[in-house]
Amino acid sequence: MPLKVSLIGESPNTRAKNLSESFLFQILRLVADTHVEIVSIRDADLALVYPYRYPFNSTVTGAFFETVAKRLPNVRNHGPEALLRKMYRIPTHTRMLAVSHENLDRRPWQVFGNLLMQTEIPRLTFWPQELDPKGFRLPYWWNYVDWPEISQLRTAKNTRFGAFYDLDVLCESQDLTKNLTSRSNKAVWLTSHLEFPRGAILKMIRKNMEVDVLQGVPWGQKLDLLRSYKYCVTSEKSAGYGYETEKNLEARMAGCIPIGYIQNPFSDFDENAFFFEPPTEPVFTIPPLLKVRPALGGLFEYLGGSVL
């Protein structure tokens, strides 16, 4: 029997081009020991609930929803999980797993996070276990690691970066004496916007070096592009507990010196493995990016005990 899954609010930029190759679906497949089938919510065994739909994808509607949920007696009495089920027509017998690759410490996604913290719904978020013991911390970048348990089930050409992240590279020191002499002595920033604080960070960096700000890099070509630059700006767009996306890892995979980065609390990264201001002295070696080598055992155990 297949595991029948329904997607609610699923975001296309958080999965592989081929959904069957996506990280979470392959993990569910291994834990359930069967193949995964996408079905309607009426027929699902498991509902994956993402915050990328009304009312959680808008600051205005999210604030209105949160206010109403706090004030109406019938909502308070039935509880936030019952409210989610009613909103998205999730049957009471259907298991739920909340998933967010966004920073739940900022609007509009914060409304979704606040709701989850009032429930027993299993969830995969950026939050560390110290802050959310009922959830499991799943950084966004785990989706694109070359995990040995699922490597044979996916192809790197289906990633935006152009390759999966190699844990050996991320867990070893970076020797900068070999591969930077032929690169442009500039920084590159792959970003879709320069809203605060990105504009201020860009202005600061440009006092010391030239920065190419690029958008619309074709799918699968980010690695080759980064390899032509000595520096890569890796600023996050917001601060959050445990919030880390792909930027520092892709700079390390491409052999760039990461700059413009401010570390978030509960980070996986070594604070000496990146820079905020561009270094004024020559840099020959950078420590390993990851403080601890991650493993999938905890995720398998969490999903097996809480979801499947």
Looking at the structure, do residues 47 and 151 belong to the same domain, yes or no? yes
Cα(182)–Cα(230) distance, integer angstroms: 9
**Which domain CATH number covers 26?**
3.40.50
Amino acid at 183: R
The secondary structure of 19-69 as a DSSP string is GGGSHHHHHHHHHHTS-EEE--GGG-SEEEE-SSSTTTT-HHHHHHHHHHH
Strand pairing of 123-125 and 136-137? Answer: parallel
Q: 14 lies in a domain?
A: yes
Report how many domains make up the chain: 2
Q: 193 lies in a domain?
A: yes
Looking at the structure, do residues 8 and 140 belong to the same domain, yes or no? yes
Looking at the structure, do residues 79 and 226 belong to the same domain, yes or no? no
Looking at the structure, do residues 179 and 107 belong to the same domain, yes or no? no
At residue 18, the pLDDT reads 65
Q: 167 lies in a domain?
A: no
Cα(119)–Cα(170) distance, integer angstroms: 35
Contacts of 79 (CB under 8 A, 6+ apart): 118, 119
Looking at the structure, do residues 182 and 279 belong to the same domain, yes or no? yes
> What's the Rg (C-alpha) of the chain?
21
At residue 131, the pLDDT reads 96
* Token reading at 82: 């019952």
The model's pTM: 0.93
Q: 47 lies in a domain?
A: yes
* Token reading at 235: 């600023």
The pLDDT profile of the chain, 308 residues, written as one tens digit per residue, is 999 999 998 765 555 556 767 899 999 999 999 999 999 999 999 999 999 989 999 999 998 888 877 776 665 556 888 889 989 999 999 999 999 999 999 999 999 999 999 899 999 999 999 999 999 999 999 999 999 988 877 777 668 899 999 999 999 999 988 777 789 999 999 998 898 899 999 999 999 999 999 999 998 999 999 999 999 999 998 899 999 999 999 999 999 999 999 999 999 999 999 999 999 998 899 999 999 999 999 999 999 999 98
195-252 pLDDT, tens digit each: 889 999 999 999 999 999 999 999 899 999 999 999 999 999 889 999 999 999 999 9
Looking at the structure, do residues 136 and 211 belong to the same domain, yes or no? no
Domain that holds residue 43: 3-157+294-306
Q: 165 lies in a domain?
A: no
**Which domain CATH number covers 185?**
3.40.50.11660
Looking at the structure, do residues 58 and 193 belong to the same domain, yes or no? no
Looking at the structure, do residues 104 and 16 belong to the same domain, yes or no? yes
Looking at the structure, do residues 103 and 190 belong to the same domain, yes or no? no
Helices (H) and strands (E) in the chain, counts: 10, 12
Looking at the structure, do residues 277 and 299 belong to the same domain, yes or no? no
Looking at the structure, do residues 178 and 75 belong to the same domain, yes or no? no
Q: 164 lies in a domain?
A: no
Looking at the structure, do residues 107 and 185 belong to the same domain, yes or no? no
Q: 116 lies in a domain?
A: yes
CA distances in angstroms from 223 to 33, 190, 245, listed in the order given: 34, 11, 16
Q: 41 lies in a domain?
A: yes
How many residues are recorded in the chain?
A: 308
